[in-house]
Amino acid sequence: MNLRTFFRGLPQVAHQEFLANLKSVRLLIMVIILALAVVGGSYGLSGGPGGPSLSPLVVWAHAAYESNDSHVASVFVADPFGSPRTNTQVTFSTFRPEETLGVARTDGDGFVRFPMGNRSEVYVVAEVGTVVFGTSVFWFPSPVNFTSVTYQYDFDGDGLSETLAVHVVDREGDPAPTQLSVNGTYVRDVDSRGYGRLSLPRGLSNITIEVGGQVESFTVDVVEPPSGSLFGTPDATLFLLSAVFLYLIVPIFAIVVTFDAVSKERVQGTLDLLLSRPVSRTGVLLGKFLGSFAAVAFPVTFVNLAGLGVITAASGESPSGGFAAGFLGFTLLLIAFYVLLQIIFSTLAKTSGTAILFGVLAWLLFNVLYNVLTLVVGLLIADPAARFQFQLYAGLGNPSAIYQQLVLLYAPLELTGFFGGTAIGGDVLGAAAAIWLVILLVLALWVFEKKAAS
């Protein structure tokens, strides 16, 4: 048999399978799910504009005094930008033993006052929905004319906590007219609620708070982010995207698209009609594979490219070229693994429902159970050298693990070292991937040949 006869019908079957999958609603649903995961994950892992989100709730609690010098807690509840949180529940309690002293709600300016008598400390907790913010208040042995509370934030997400939020009240716990200075230079007054915000340079800054001629000074350090930090870098984001999102979703995508590639033909009675045409069984099977593979690969690649674009836009840098290319190529390899695997199940199963059940079980096996089983087996091996060798090569029996190790193999060296790297060379991983493809393809052809003959 010449090659033309051997592959007869392949282009036509592949084209028909590809178009049929493109028109299916399940493909559209999976594309939407993948796009939300990849694009959203790219944006979230990159930090996005504004960096990490700030807490929507901040408690500025002060030790204030009544006219008779008894203690009162003056609490201002707001967001980090000083916008007041009105009608917010605030709970006052002791430390040891923990005892609730009372509950109050903030007024229209975000303030609440709570009498403390002669207590010298109290724990204050504010709650908005599921967000909780707690802080402590301690009273000095003798009253002071004003108190200030500060919080240092990274408002713009550049890794530097260069913004200092300040809140100042007078002895009675009311907002006090206050001047704020940085390194001896006046910057601004606090607002009518006692809130002010300062932008600080890198390094040490001397902060001065002046109320009614009295001055309080302290230093604040704006520290450079660690130069060796990898989180949020484009390459780290890309690796986490492949190791978390694509590792789990792409196999499901392939299973959902391919589960009835052969079983639907049998159920509808069209398989015999298809085989009665001038086509070879090899051409039919390979056409089914290529058509299903293309139907998954095109949208996945498009979404992956969109993810790379989002990473670049959000972080201001592009991932390493070789790493990005490896990421795109190895994702196609992962698709091929699971499309072939699901075609085998679709051929063996009598119904499409059974075929997709087999696919889900295979996904659970390779993505969950396999890791657990290899861990248990490794623990049972007494000899440390043998255990090391087993753990080193156990991943070669899992196509999903091969995908992860190949992606990590192409990652930059600093990223590879941070995530533990892969001790298996590229030649071994490449050979393992090729063996998996050949075995799955030969098995798919053999199973289809047997089922078609019967």
Q: Is residue 129 part of a domain?
A: yes
Q: Is residue 433 part of a domain?
A: yes
Same domain, 417 and 321: yes
Tokens of 406: 């190949």
Same domain, 184 and 312: no
Q: How far apart (Å, rounded) are the C-alpha atoms in residues 227 and 260?
A: 51
Mean pLDDT lowest for which of 246-260, 263-277, 330-344, 367-381? 263-277
Q: Is residue 75 a contact partner of residue 149, using CB atoms and an 8 Å limit?
A: no
Between these two residues, 272 and 338, which has the higher pLDDT value?
A: 338
Average pLDDT over residues 414-430: 68
The residue type found at 298 is F
Burial class (CB in 10 A: 0-12, 13-18, 19+), 192: exposed
Same domain, 305 and 329: yes
Q: Is residue 161 part of a domain?
A: yes
What pLDDT sits at residue 434? 94
Mark which of 222, 251, 274 sits at the end of a domain: 222
Same domain, 250 and 207: no
**Number of CB atoms found within 10 A of residue 344's CB:** 23
Same domain, 35 and 100: no
Same domain, 183 and 278: no
Q: Residue 189 pLDDT more than 90? A: yes
pLDDT tens digit sequence for 259-285 = 888 888 776 666 666 666 777 778 888
Same domain, 275 and 177: no
Same domain, 424 and 391: yes
Same domain, 38 and 66: no
What separation in angstroms does the CA of 338 have from each of 19, 54, 403, 426? 20, 41, 12, 21
Q: How far apart (Å, rounded) are the C-alpha atoms in residues 310 and 314?
A: 6
Q: Is residue 151 a contact partner of residue 80, using CB atoms and an 8 Å limit?
A: yes
Q: Is residue 411 part of a domain?
A: yes
Same domain, 200 and 314: no
Q: Is residue 213 a contact partner of residue 183, using CB atoms and an 8 Å limit?
A: no
Q: What is the CATH number of the domain that holds 66?
A: 2.60.40.1120
Q: Is residue 347 a contact partner of residue 262, using CB atoms and an 8 Å limit?
A: yes
Q: Is residue 53 part of a domain?
A: no
Q: Is residue 52 part of a domain?
A: no
What pLDDT sits at residue 101? 92
Percent share of the chain, pLDDT over 90:
42
Q: Is residue 294 part of a domain?
A: yes
Structural domain count, the chain = 2
Q: 390: domain range?
A: 3-47+232-453
The most distant pair of C-alpha atoms in the chain lies apart, rounded to whole Å, by: 107
pLDDT tens digit sequence for 284-297 = 888 889 999 999 99
Same domain, 76 and 200: yes
Q: Is residue 227 part of a domain?
A: no
Q: Is residue 303 a contact partner of residue 34, using CB atoms and an 8 Å limit?
A: yes
Beta bridge partners of 137: 122
Burial class (CB in 10 A: 0-12, 13-18, 19+), 59: buried
Same domain, 90 and 185: yes
What pLDDT sits at residue 411? 80
Percent share of the chain, pLDDT over 70:
88
Pairing of strands 121-128, 89-93: antiparallel
Mark which of 222, 248, 273 sits at the end of a domain: 222
Mark which of 168, 197, 222 sits at the end of a domain: 222
pLDDT tens digit sequence for 99-142 = 899 999 999 999 999 999 888 899 999 988 778 899 999 987 77
